[in-house]
Amino acid sequence: MNRSISRPPHPHQSFSDPALKMAVRIPSPPPLLEELNRLMDDPNANMEEIGQVIRTDAGLTASLYRTLARPMYGLTRPPETIAQAISLVGLKTVAELVKGLSLESAIFGESKFFPWFWERANEISRYAAAIAWKQRTACNLFPEHVQLAALFMDCGVPILIQHIEKYEYAFITSKGYIWPNIPSEDSRFDTDHAVVGWMAARHWKLPDYVCQSVRWHHDPIRVSDKSATLVAILQTALHVFNLRTSREDKDWAGHESTALEEIGITKEGLREFEEDIADRAGR
């Protein structure tokens, strides 16, 4: 978990959707991201200008370096400057990673639920990105997009907790937090965390197929496109997370066959694949 990320106040924008039966305030991207996007669209911008924008948030910069030090990026040593990071993995990768790291600082609260939630989300996102790297020939997706999708797919949960205090109660036990049946909780409160996550992904201007994967990550795969492949990766990453943390994994039985086919893994090779993904994701 990236505890060092600074947490200034973030503006919100209200959205409504028939599935929610309520208006929801979605945190807006921080000014740093808006400036970064502006520079990326400017053909005359240079790496020093871009690096200077990112460096304005010291905690985010440190988190970026730690992220790029993980085995899945294949670097012999982590970068020591933003310019070096850009030259090693590319500007687009750095920008998308910054977007994901910014999300945690935008959605937070006083409850202990929030650090617990982001620790879980970050771990799943590492597994998802590792799957995209390992299966890049079969899946042909940008790992940074996959990592963003994994961070956004359940971000509707903490957003809803900011609106509905009782929504958090199902997560609390005498031994700490658990991950309950979220669709069941949605139905209790006439809401839909996947719709909220989809609205957040759109508000943060993620690619459309990433937004679609956030919206449908609980559903069986019925189409054949980039969003379906991404949903398969998210479902597999969640399975690996549940397996490695000894959590209930009842949804995997319904997803396993189509998810594995979509990402190019046989059922017989799944055990070895799971171990490899855990090693690649690192910590």
List the CATH number of the domain containing 140. 1.10.3210.10
Query: 154 and 47, same structural domain?
Result: no
Instruction: Name which residue leads in pLDDT, 258 or 59.
Output: 258
The answer to the question of residue 13 being in a domain is: no
Query: 171 and 277, same structural domain?
Result: yes
The answer to the question of residue 15 being in a domain is: no
Q: Compute the average pLDDT of residues 249-254.
A: 93
Exposed e or buried b per residue across 191-225, where buried means at least 16 C-beta atoms within 10 angstroms of its C-beta: bbbbbbbbbbbbbbebbebbbbbbbbbbeebeeee
The confidence score (pLDDT) of residue 4 equals 36
Work out how many domains the chain is built from and give that number.
2
Query: 214 and 194, same structural domain?
Result: yes
- Give the range with max mean pLDDT: 43-47, 64-68, 114-118, 217-221: 114-118
Q: Compute the average pLDDT of residues 246-275.
A: 94
> Is the pLDDT confidence value at 186 over 80?
yes
Does residue 227 contact residue 213 with C-beta atoms inside 8 Å?
A: yes
Task: Mark which of 54, 84, 106 sits at the end of a domain.
Answer: 106
- In one-letter notation, the amino acid at residue 43 is P
Query: 151 and 274, same structural domain?
Result: yes
Band (10; pLDDT cuts 50, 70, 90)? low
Residue 9 DSSP SS3: coil
The answer to the question of residue 5 being in a domain is: no
Task: Mark which of 81, 106, 131 sits at the end of a domain.
Answer: 106
Query: 102 and 136, same structural domain?
Result: no
The confidence score (pLDDT) of residue 156 equals 96
The answer to the question of residue 16 being in a domain is: no
Instruction: Name which residue leads in pLDDT, 15 or 103.
Output: 103
Residue 106 to residue 10: CA distance in whole angstroms: 6
Query: 129 and 53, same structural domain?
Result: no
Does residue 100 contact residue 151 with C-beta atoms inside 8 Å?
A: yes
The answer to the question of residue 47 being in a domain is: yes
Query: 234 and 208, same structural domain?
Result: yes
Supply the range of the domain harboring residue 79.
Answer: 28-106
DSSP 225: S
Instruction: Name which residue leads in pLDDT, 45 or 11.
Output: 45
The confidence score (pLDDT) of residue 7 equals 44
Instruction: Name which residue leads in pLDDT, 67 or 126.
Output: 126
The answer to the question of residue 265 being in a domain is: yes
pLDDT digits (tens, 9 = 90+) for 207-239: 999 999 999 999 878 767 899 999 999 999 999
The answer to the question of residue 1 being in a domain is: no
Query: 241 and 180, same structural domain?
Result: yes
The confidence score (pLDDT) of residue 1 equals 37
Query: 186 and 68, same structural domain?
Result: no
Task: Mark which of 76, 106, 136 sits at the end of a domain.
Answer: 106
Q: Compute the average pLDDT of residues 91-96.
A: 84
- In one-letter notation, the amino acid at residue 128 is A
The answer to the question of residue 20 being in a domain is: no
